[in-house]
Structure 1
């Protein structure tokens, strides 16, 4: 992108690939992110990305990651519900 103007763009969740200067391609599945192009530099920032050698493996890795995230989300929701119930009980006891 050396002849492209400098810019900043938001990236939607999806597949992101790029070519290395030394040859070869990198394939990532990523969450939302930001791409910054300044001069000959291109920078990408995201909170969550996974890398795999090919698209077939990438799908497996993404499914595994979502399973882990789903379990964490369930644990957080359960803990939050317990805290809310405890808080309500204490308010009732104060009356």
Structure 2
């Protein structure tokens, strides 16, 4: 691996890409604590926990993301991050409200979907049970 000053970062959600671009550093939180990655960091994989993810861009700006659980894979000069849920905010103060609003809406949608799935499962069990009854 050659020495590099930048790395390619892709932050993905299940439904879309939240960030894709060049970075000079990344700061995140794993189950065993916080960590930082620079372009020439050793390759590794880690599980992410709900936290703040900071991506430092080549121009010195930082992109701030509130993320849910996920996985980070660093290989060469490429960094892939996949998370269940994530939102971007302009600053840390606004991030708390943005995360609360976005994640609460998603949780409501998940509850509705789980309830519908439970009804379908119950209906399927009833139909299978009726197939086992002897016909008279």
CA RMSD, Structure 1 to Structure 2 (Å): 1.9
> Which segments of 5 or more consecutive residues in structure 2 lack a partner in the other structure?
1-37
> Which segments of 5 or more consecutive residues in structure 1 lack a partner in the other structure?
none
Match status 1:33 vs 2:71 = yes
**Aligned counterparts of 2:128 and 2:73: Cα–Cα separation in 1:** 48
**Aligned counterparts of 1:52 and 1:2: Cα–Cα separation in 2:** 24
* Counterpart secondary structure, 2:58: coil
How far 1:13 moved relative to its partner? 2.4
Given that 1:17 and 1:27 are in contact with CA atoms closer than 8 Å, whether structure 2 keeps it comes out as yes
Runs of 4+, deviation exceeding 4 Å: none
How far 1:30 moved relative to its partner? 1.5
Relative to structure 1, the CA distance from residue 90 to residue 29 in structure 2 (aligned partners, 3 Å threshold; closer, same or farther) is same
- Counterpart residue number, 1:20: 57
Match status 1:77 vs 2:111 = no
Structure with the bigger percentage of strand: 2
Relative to structure 1, the CA distance from residue 69 to residue 23 in structure 2 (aligned partners, 3 Å threshold; closer, same or farther) is same
**Aligned counterparts of 1:19 and 1:55: Cα–Cα separation in 2:** 14
**TM-score, reference length from structure 1:** 0.79
**TM-score, reference length from structure 2:** 0.59
User: 1:50-69 alignment to 2 at 5 Å?
Assistant: 50-69=87-106
